[in-house]
Structure 1
Amino acid sequence: MLEAENPSIPNLETKPSEYDSYQCSLPSKFKDIAKEELREDESVRTQALAQFREWIAKHPQIKKCRTDAPFLLRFLRTKKFSVPVACELLEKYLTVRQLFPQWFQKLDINDPAIEEIINSGYLFPLPERDEQGRRLIFSCASRFDPTKYTSAQMARTHAMVVESLLDEEESQVAGYCYITDEGGLTMNHISLWSLADLKRMSKCIQVSSPMRHKETHFINIPSIANKVIEFALSLTSEKLKKRMFLDKNVEELKSRVNPDLLPQEYGGKIPIDNMVAKFKETLRKNRAKTLALDEMYIDLDGASTNWLGNDDADIEPGVIGSFRKLEVD
């Protein structure tokens, strides 16, 4: 058992008398953000954690689940301490992990393929937060080899990177921004994903991720990717669409993001290889805890999955046709 190998890994079968005692260690800047944006204070947090744990303990389908404060606060902070909505988010998070294990389980930095993808500089967080305290996650399409790796390996890499960051309380409070360089995107990249899988993945991200998605920046979008971006936007909520920016190039990105935070290759100070090497230390440090997430369990026979949807009714017909044409061209 992973817990036996590393006692710091949260116990999935904690009894009420064994719940961890939480002490908030957030810097004052983040406490202020939490109070203003999330309505969080010591009283609200204490009551919400108690109610959340009681709900998990009594849930007839949830058999194993982390109940430590950093884990539960992912969901409470994402949903601004609305306990019923946070409970629903956790239920969907557990369900998605089991419905799509090829995407969300076995998130192991020691997996040779995943380690190679990380080493390539395809996906990594930037070392420094922005002025609002947000964690910036950077990706570069040209650094992912679609002739060597599968869409499942791509998805697990994304899931592993995200899971390694989700217990950071500053990020839970301030949120996450994404910078995606689509330069070098090819038909080989696009053909990795079927229309159905793209829709499922988009739904999973939007309804089950315990993250405050603040901004997404796309740069260097090639013409071949226009229909893909259009399709992705058709699957995105209006709220998230307003937080997406299609920047023509790096210079336009720099008008929105502090250039000093970017990799050296994009006008910043630290080379990508150095950023990746430092991040791999975090991945190895969190490896056992991340793998232990696979032991969480919800009885899918009793869990509703209707929210996933099974048709294309919510997508513009023209967009579907264009994307399907891309699949066969």
Structure 2
Amino acid sequence: MSSAEVACPQEELYKSDVTPQAKEIALKELREDDLIREQSLEQMRDWISKHPAIKKCRTDSPFLLRFLRTKKFSVPQACSLLEKYLATRQIYSRWFRNLNYDDPVIQEIINCGYLVPLPCRDSQNRLVIMACPGRFDPYKYTTEDMARTHALVSECLMDDEMNQIYGYAYINDYSNLSMGHISMWSISDLKVMVNCLQSVSPMRHKENHFINIPSIGKHLVDFVFSLLNEKLRKRVYIHKSIDELKDSFSPSVLPREYGGEIPLADIVNNLKKKLQAAKESTLALDDMHIDLDCGYKLEGLMQEELGTGATGSFRKLELQR
């Protein structure tokens, strides 16, 4: 008898409306074809059903394909990533669970335009996510509020097959960054969060662009850069101005405030509709459960991998330099 309670029958049929071009990219970059996809989904469902610690988990195709596509259809790696994803959601529940769009704090942060997926994809069909930390009030909100906003937006996007196949590009505008933003994160929490993003999140991070970094933010960016693995370090680009950024992104991709056509307020309103529509499915993720006390020793392994040994804050770091 299966140890895990699954969210859909194993005979569920995969259905997709991705474009022929996306299918070609999936084959070329991810080694995905109909046979490999069918076999991999079946293998993952079987693994979940027999896992000694996983008690309940989604097994529908869009969810499992998050992990398979991120790991280019290496089933063992996809299973390991799913295991870490489930464990992380519970170990760091203050960041990754109860992602309720009705939370007034999250709504305020979304309304200010701090984090938005842009409506137009880039030249390589990747979804572009823009973060503007200067729009986030570090004296009113906490690191937990920031992390939960990121987690909510990410969960809303990850079942989209176009995002799974083409991946994501990021634009980080550090205009108006203050010492409040620098000092709100402890070094240990930032280390865990960065490692969650690069080692636990089932997302294909393709490019990461930074613009308008003030002098007070340089140490923060340098520290984050030091935490990235070699592959992601090579995908980081620093721009001195919006004009330089336009060498990488067509103005049509950007909000009107950055030379594009669609006002940021309209982009925010579109995101709010998506988050509202996805509210129930996002909250339902909390029904998934992995037993951290069953002797499988997941929690200790996760803490070792994510790294919780560093202490201190960036305010101290700035004062020491």
- In the alignment, the residues of structure 1 paired with residue 190 and residue 160 of structure 2 have an alpha-carbon distance, to the nearest angstrom, of 28
Q: Which ranges in structure 1 are unaligned for 5 or more consecutive residues? A: 1-10
Alpha-carbon distance, 1:133 to partner: 1.1
- In the alignment, the residues of structure 1 paired with residue 313 and residue 285 of structure 2 have an alpha-carbon distance, to the nearest angstrom, of 38
The match for 1:273 is: 265
User: Structure 2 matches for 1:238-317, cutoff 5 A?
Assistant: 238-301=230-293, 302=296, 303=298, 304-305=301-302, 306-312=304-310
Matched AA of 1:210? P
CA contact 1:109–1:283 (8 Å) conserved in 2: yes
In the superposition, the TM-score normalised over structure 1's length comes to 0.91
The match for 1:142 is: 134
CA contact 1:264–1:271 (8 Å) conserved in 2: yes
1:101-124 superposed Cα distances (whole Å, 9 cap, x missing partner): 111111111100000000001101
Alpha-carbon distance, 1:20 to partner: 2.0
The match for 2:204 is: 212
1:255-291 superposed Cα distances (whole Å, 9 cap, x missing partner): 1111111000000000000001011111000000001
Q: Which ranges in structure 2 are unaligned for 5 or more consecutive residues? A: none
User: Structure 2 matches for 1:166-205, cutoff 5 A?
Assistant: 166-205=158-197
Q: Does 1:107 align with 2:99?
A: yes
The partner residue of 2:229 within 232, 237, 244 is 237
Matched AA of 1:281? K
The partner residue of 1:13 within 6, 12, 16 is 6
- In the alignment, the residues of structure 2 paired with residue 281 and residue 322 of structure 1 have an alpha-carbon distance, to the nearest angstrom, of 36
CA contact 2:183–2:315 (8 Å) conserved in 1: no
User: Structure 2 matches for 1:91-170, cutoff 5 A?
Assistant: 91-170=83-162
Aligned residues: 312
Q: Does 1:71 align with 2:63?
A: yes
1:32-66 superposed Cα distances (whole Å, 9 cap, x missing partner): 10000001000000000000000000000000110
- In the alignment, the residues of structure 2 paired with residue 167 and residue 294 of structure 1 have an alpha-carbon distance, to the nearest angstrom, of 16
Alpha-carbon distance, 1:16 to partner: 4.5
Q: Name the stretch that deviates more: 279-288 or 296-305.
A: 296-305
1:163-208 superposed Cα distances (whole Å, 9 cap, x missing partner): 1000000010000000010011111011111011011111111110
The match for 2:16 is: 24
The match for 2:37 is: 45
- In the alignment, the residues of structure 2 paired with residue 328 and residue 297 of structure 1 have an alpha-carbon distance, to the nearest angstrom, of 43
The match for 1:6 is: none
Q: State the percentage of identical aligned residues.
A: 52
Matched AA of 1:162? S
CA contact 1:191–1:327 (8 Å) conserved in 2: no
Matched AA of 1:309? G
Matched AA of 1:193? W
CA contact 1:228–1:323 (8 Å) conserved in 2: no
What secondary structure is seen at the aligned counterpart in 2 of 1:164?
helix
Q: Does 1:226 align with 2:218?
A: yes
In the superposition, the TM-score normalised over structure 2's length comes to 0.93
For residues 207 and 258 of structure 1, do their structure 2 counterparts lie closer, same or farther at Cα, with a shift above 3 Å needed?
same
CA contact 2:183–2:314 (8 Å) conserved in 1: no
Matched AA of 2:309? D
CA contact 1:75–1:90 (8 Å) conserved in 2: yes
Matched AA of 1:290? T
